[in-house]
């Protein structure tokens, strides 16, 4: 069964196609091609990326590729739905807090702009007919989670003909069909406080699973995780990890971030309202989950 | 959307991480300099040193040469597909960030920066 791992988007991405079918290797090539293409367009760690070229032109409509437009459109949609708990304009605050190292080269990057403190997703306008994006004020867009989700989903479309496959982008998963034993895929949820342990496991088929945790990459000089509450600019503290099971990874990833920021009760309410499932674990290891979450036996 | 060109990855070999696509060979020669290079990656649980061996201008193998994490590096020293599956044989995949994988990625990047 073809399995391949590459380093892309700041992590290791594994693609696993269960049937040993003709064309699987070529499909995996194309799937990884999307990861590289989407990273190239949507990274905020390269001034040359389409995203950062857009950032450099506040106040004018900028024509966007289908990839960038879709990523921004989706990010704004989730921002609206979550009341700003998820906000792609949080980018510059992450730079200010030290999340500005390009994982490929180690270089420190700074945007040549100083946004107002009160910028939000409402300062970004889309024109679907002309496919342009306008930044109403100088701001830095951070599409990290959305771009990775989009890459997982686009890669998944390349693999759909093989039915049974898995994509693991540093713990952001899409599981197609069945595992090699012919059963729904089993997915362990990392324990947010104990290394090497799982806090739960789920059964998943044709769905994405993503987790936002406070154990993720920390700023080099501070004891802070990377999940800021866009509404305050400070790290969110009421959740240790938020896991979301959704039809696609872009949605799962963005809603995991939003649920993390909203806290356990409001986070679960958002997931129920959006029609997806999830598990939220607090720093005290209290568990909150949606009614439809499918646990492994 | 236009289809991106497929990356010119080498024939997949599941014994090592294909990091060539993430770190394209330097412009000009199109080749890395032969030799063994080391780099460090850092995670909240400790540090990982990667060793990258280059022969004939291509990356032959990338492995962990020094593990200073609080837990055993055995969770990632058997590289793909085990690297993604990590801690547990009881589930197919694990959701949640993978600092060890990220630290290894950073370590390989640093090693390759010396091979230009």
Q: pLDDT at position B11, please?
A: 31
Does residue A203 lie within any of the structural domains? yes
pLDDT tops 90 at residue A292: yes
The average pLDDT across A149-175 equals: 95
Chain B 21-40, residues with CB within 8 Å of chain A CB atoms: 21-23
**Cβ-defined contact of A5 to B84 (cutoff 8 Å):** yes
Q: What is the CATH number of the domain that holds A88?
A: 1.10.3980.10
**Cβ-defined contact of A14 to B45 (cutoff 8 Å):** no
Spans of all domains in chain B? 35-113
Chain A interface includes B80 (CB < 8 A) = yes
**Cβ-defined contact of A168 to B93 (cutoff 8 Å):** yes
pLDDT tens by residue, A163-208 = 999 999 988 999 999 999 999 999 999 888 886 678 999 999 999 9
Whether residue A69 sits in one domain with residue A135: yes
Q: How far apart are CA A38 and CA A21, in angstroms?
A: 27
> B107 pLDDT band (50/70/90 cuts)?
confident
Q: pLDDT at position A222, please?
A: 45
Would you say the C-alpha torsion B106, A257, A55, B22 has a positive or negative sign? positive
> B82 pLDDT band (50/70/90 cuts)?
very low
Q: How far apart are CA A236 and CA A17, in angstroms?
A: 37
Q: Where are the alpha helices (DSSP H) in chain A?
A: 24-42, 50-55, 66-81, 91-96, 144-159, 249-262, 264-274
Chain A interface includes B54 (CB < 8 A) = no
Cβ contacts (< 8 Å) between B91 and chain A: which residues?
186-188, 198, 201, 296
Q: Is the distance from CB of B46 to CB of B69 less than 8 angstroms?
A: yes
Select the residue of A7, A11, A198 nearest B19 (Cβ to Cβ): A7
The better pLDDT of the pair A241, B82 is held by A241
Please give the distance of CA B69 from its chain centroid, rounded to a whole number. 17
Q: pLDDT at position B85, please?
A: 35
Chain A interface includes B91 (CB < 8 A) = yes
Q: How far apart are CA B18 and CA B80, in angstroms?
A: 10
Q: pLDDT at position B24, please?
A: 44
pLDDT tops 50 at residue A291: yes
Chain B interface includes A160 (CB < 8 A) = no
Chain A interface includes B92 (CB < 8 A) = yes
Which DSSP letter does residue B6 get? Answer: P
Instruction: Give the residue from A85, A110, A142 where a domain finishes.
Output: A142
Q: How far is B51 from chain A (nearest CA, A)?
A: 15
Q: pLDDT at position B17, please?
A: 42
Does residue A252 lie within any of the structural domains? yes
Q: pLDDT at position B102, please?
A: 64
The average pLDDT across A15-28 equals: 92
Which residue in chain A has the smallest CA separation from B43?
A217
Chain B interface includes A187 (CB < 8 A) = yes
Q: Concatenated DSSP letters for A112-123?
A: S----TT--GGG
Q: How far is B26 from chain A (nearest CA, A)?
A: 13
Report for A140-144, A246-250, B68-72: range of highest mean pLDDT: A246-250
Cβ contacts (< 8 Å) between A154 and chain B: which residues?
1
> In 10 A of CB A294, how many CB atoms?
13
Whether residue A122 sits in one domain with residue A64: yes
Q: How far is A186 from chain B (nearest CA, A)?
A: 5
The average pLDDT across A79-83 equals: 93
Average per-residue pLDDT for chain B: 59
Does residue A239 lie within any of the structural domains? yes
**Helix or strand or coil: residue A110?**
coil
The average pLDDT across A53-67 equals: 92
Cβ contacts (< 8 Å) between B15 and chain A: which residues?
none
Measured in residues, chain B has a length of: 116
pLDDT tops 50 at residue A269: yes
Does residue A49 lie within any of the structural domains? yes
Average per-residue pLDDT for chain A: 85
Share of chain A above pLDDT 90, in %: 58
Q: pLDDT at position A121, please?
A: 93
Chain A 92-111, residues with CB within 8 Å of chain B CB atoms: 103-106
Instruction: Give the residue from A142, A175, A207 where a domain finishes.
Output: A142
B39-78 residues labelled b (16+ CB within 10 A) or e (exposed)? bebbbeeeebbbbbbbeeeebeebbbbebebeeebebbbe
pLDDT tops 70 at residue B45: no
Report the alpha-carbon angle B84-A94-A126, nearest 5. 95
> B110 pLDDT band (50/70/90 cuts)?
confident
Select the residue of A11, A12, A29 nearest B9 (Cβ to Cβ): A29
Does residue A91 lie within any of the structural domains? yes
pLDDT tops 70 at residue A283: yes
Whether residue A199 sits in one domain with residue A285: yes
The average pLDDT across A23-40 equals: 92
Q: Which residue has the tokens 């994988």?
A: B101
pLDDT tops 90 at residue B113: no
Q: How far is B27 from chain A (nearest CA, A)?
A: 15
Instruction: Give the residue from A142, A166, A201 where a domain finishes.
Output: A142
Q: How far apart are CA A156 and CA A147, in angstroms?
A: 14
Q: What is the CATH number of the domain that holds A256?
A: 3.10.520.10
**Cβ-defined contact of A170 to B23 (cutoff 8 Å):** no
Q: pLDDT at position A19, please?
A: 94
Does residue A93 lie within any of the structural domains? yes
β-strand partners of A6: A13, B18
Whether residue A272 sits in one domain with residue A218: yes
Q: Read off the pTM.
A: 0.75
Does residue A163 lie within any of the structural domains? no
Q: pLDDT at position B108, please?
A: 73
Whether residue A194 sits in one domain with residue A136: no
Of residues A30, A2, A5, the one with CA closest to residue B16: A5
Q: Which helix (H) or strand (E) holds A227?
A: none
Domain of residue A122 covers 45-142
Q: pLDDT at position A210, please?
A: 96
pLDDT tens by residue, A107-118 = 445 554 555 667
Domain count, chain A: 2
């Amino acid at each position: 069964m073809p399995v391949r791992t590459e380093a892309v988007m700041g992590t290791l991405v594994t693609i696993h196609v269960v049937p040993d079918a003709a064309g699987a290797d070529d499909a995996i090539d194309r799937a990884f091609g999307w990861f590289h293409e989407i990273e190239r367009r949507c990274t905020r760690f390269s001034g040359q990326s389409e995203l950062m070229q857009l950032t450099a032109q506040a106040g004018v409509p900028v024509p966007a590729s289908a990839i960038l437009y879709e990523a921004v459109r989706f990010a704004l949609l989730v921002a609206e739905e979550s009341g700003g708990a998820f906000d792609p304009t949080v980018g510059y605050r992450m730079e200010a807090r030290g999340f500005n190292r390009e994982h490929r080269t180690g270089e420190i990057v700074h945007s040549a702009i100083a946004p107002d403190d009160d910028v939000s997703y409402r300062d970004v306008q889309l024109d679907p007919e002309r496919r342009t994006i306008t930044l109403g004020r100088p701001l830095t867009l951070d599409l990290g989670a959305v771009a990775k989700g989009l890459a997982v989903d686009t890669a998944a479309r390349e693999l759909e003909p093989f039915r049974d496959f898995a994509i693991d982008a540093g713990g952001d998963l899409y599981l197609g069909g069945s595992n090699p034993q012919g059963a729904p895929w089993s997915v362990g949820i990392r324990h947010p406080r104990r290394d090497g342990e799982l806090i739960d496991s789920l059964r998943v088929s044709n769905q994405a699973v993503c987790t936002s945790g406070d154990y993720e990459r920390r700023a080099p000089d501070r004891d802070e995780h990377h999940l800021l509450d866009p509404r305050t600019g400070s790290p969110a503290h009421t959740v240790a990890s938020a896991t979301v099971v959704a039809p696609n990874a872009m949605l799962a990833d963005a809603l995991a971030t939003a649920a993390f920021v909203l806290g356990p009760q409001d986070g679960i309410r958002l997931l129920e309202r959006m029609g997806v499932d999830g598990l939220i674990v607090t720093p005290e290891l209290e568990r909150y989950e949606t009614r439809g979450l499918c646990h492994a036996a | 959307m236009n289809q991106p060109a497929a990356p010119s990855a080498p024939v997949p070999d599941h014994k090592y991480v294909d990091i060539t696509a993430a770190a394209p060979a330097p412009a000009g020669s199109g080749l890395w300099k032969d030799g063994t290079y080391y780099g460090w990656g850092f995670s909240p649980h400790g540090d990982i040193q990667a060793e990258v061996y280059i022969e004939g201008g291509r990356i032959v193998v990338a492995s962990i040469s020094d593990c200073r994490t609080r837990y055993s590096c055995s969770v990632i020293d058997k590289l793909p597909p085990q690297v993604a599956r990590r801690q547990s044989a009881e589930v197919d995949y694990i959701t949640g960030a993978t600092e060890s994988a990220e630290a290894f990625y950073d370590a390989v990047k640093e090693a390759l920066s010396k091979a230009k």
